[in-house]
Structures are given as C-alpha cells and as structure tokens.
Amino acid sequence: MSESPRAKRIHAVKFALLVSVVCCLLITGASTGLSPLQQANKRLDRQKNILKAAGIITPDGTPSRIQIQALFQEKIETVAVDDAGNFMDPSQGQGLSLYLYREKKILKAYVIPIESRGLWGKIKGYIAFERDGKTVAGFTVYSHSETPGLGGEIEKAWFQKNFIGKKIYNAQNEFVSVSIAKGGIAALPETEQAHSVDGISGATLTGRYLTQGLKENLKQYESVSVKLRQAYQKKTVGNDMTTPPIKETN
C-alpha cells in the first residue's frame, strides 16, 4: 500500500531535520576540534607581528613557524605594568601588556599593543620603541576590517616602514604621538614631519582614526615609557641599560 501525500511530506520533513541535525553536529565537532589550532595560529601571528615591530624580522619577511617561535622565546619577554608604570607580579592582576626585546639581557626595544577604531571595525597591531623611549623602532597591523586597496594598505610593509625613526616627542620635549598625514608629509611644516607619516590616498578616515587610536594607546603607556626613558638617560653613552628583574606573564 502506497503512502499518502501527507505521510510523504512528514517523512520528507523528518529526513530534512535529520540531515540538518547531523550537519550541525559535524560543523560543531569540526569547529571544536579546530579551535586549538586556530588559537595557536592567532598566537603565532601575534608573535610574528611583535618580532616585526621590534625589528627582529623585516616588515616583509616570511619566517617559518619554527623560526618565529624560536625567536620569540629567545628575544621577547612578556610582562605587565600597572597604570603608574610599575612592573607587576602576575599574581597582582592583569595590568597592561608590554613586550621587552632583549639581547643578552640588555633591553634593545619595547613593544606596545595597539587597538584603534577603524572605518569598518577595530584595528589591532603593535608599535615598538627604541631604548630612548621616544623613537619608533617599528609598527605592524595584524587585524583590521579596512577597505582593500584603500585603508587596507595599513597592513602593507611600505606603509609600516614609514613609522621607523619617527619621534613621539617634539622639539619642546612634549608628547605628541605619531600622526598619519592627509597626503604626504612633505607638505607639513618641518617641525611636524619628525612625528608624522605619509597618509594613504583615499583613506583619510582610516588615517584619522588610527592617529587618534595611537595617541590614546600611547598615553596609557606613558608612565612606563617615562620610567624606561629616565633609566636610559641615567646611563652614559656606550653603556647598556637593563631593566629591573621582571616576572614573565602568560
């Protein structure tokens, strides 16, 4: 005896529901299974960007996973600081993350994480400073939602290289951060060129938001930057500077 049209429809609905449930379970299982790998890849990408910002690898370098992990473990110390710029014991709380680049225990640069508003979403990256605490050693972006070919150029090596050597203090020793110019810096007064970088054509808003974000983030870290700056100034030229003992955080 053949099934009625109503029974056929019920069976079809049941089959569709069963397929949907199976697919959902497979997707959930795959997502859960891949989660550790995804987190590991994100961590590796952040490590690579920290190394690039510190100048340990070039902005357009493509080191292997093993090279990135080895360099990060050898040269980078992850620490935390409080709002007053004091190095914290991890047990005291989370604090502000800071990355110290050392060679034979000597501080060469320090790296600050950056999170800024963008045109379409958050811009995340790192900016590094030389031991003097005033000169940019490098800048990277590892996450953004800016328009490809326009604001998306912030992730390109040509744009990031422009930050190297820029100053976050003016001639009057006042904090001014680093600004992304509207156009080229050649049109700016000479007094502003030392702490400005060329803008991206057609991406004025991205440059404006990133300028604001850089200033806000660097202000947060100004207390520890002052301490490192003072420690550097106390040393005579030619002597290496070391920071106080610091416990590493996760």
Task: Classify residue 171: in a domain, yes or no.
Answer: yes
**Residue 147 phi, psi (nearest 5):** -65, 125
pLDDT value, residue 250: 34
Q: In terms of C-beta distances under 8 Å and separation of at least 24 residues, what long-range contacts does 15-24 make, across chains too?
A: none
CA distances, 236 to each of 232, 233, 240, 244 (Å) = 8, 7, 9, 18
Task: Classify residue 15: in a domain, yes or no.
Answer: no
In the numeric block, the tokens 């904090």 are attached to: 175
pLDDT tens digits, the chain, 250 residues: what are they? 555 666 667 766 677 777 777 767 666 665 566 577 788 899 999 999 999 999 999 888 889 999 999 999 999 999 999 888 888 876 677 889 999 999 888 899 999 999 999 999 999 999 999 989 999 999 999 999 999 999 999 999 999 999 999 999 998 989 999 999 998 999 899 989 999 999 999 999 999 999 999 999 999 999 999 888 888 877 643 344 444 444 333 3
- As given in the structure block, the two tokens for residue 158 are 């040509």
pLDDT value, residue 94: 80
Task: Classify residue 25: in a domain, yes or no.
Answer: no
Task: Classify residue 245: in a domain, yes or no.
Answer: no
Taking each helix axis from N to C terminus, what angle separates 204-220 and 222-233, rounded to the nearest 10 degrees? 70
Q: How many domains does the chain have?
A: 1
User: How far does CA 205 lie from the centroid of its chain?
Assistant: 20
Task: Classify residue 37: in a domain, yes or no.
Answer: no
Task: Classify residue 146: in a domain, yes or no.
Answer: yes
Q: Hey, which bits of 5-72 come out as E strands?
A: none
- Domain hosting 199: range is 76-233
Task: Classify residue 186: in a domain, yes or no.
Answer: yes
Cα separation, 26 vs 139, whole angstroms: 40
Cα separation, 123 vs 152, whole angstroms: 10
Taking each helix axis from N to C terminus, what angle separates 65-75 and 5-53, rounded to the nearest 10 degrees? 50
Cα separation, 46 vs 212, whole angstroms: 22
Task: Classify residue 32: in a domain, yes or no.
Answer: no
Q: What number of H helices and E strands is found in the chain?
A: 6, 7
Q: Please state the pTM of the whole predicted model.
A: 0.80
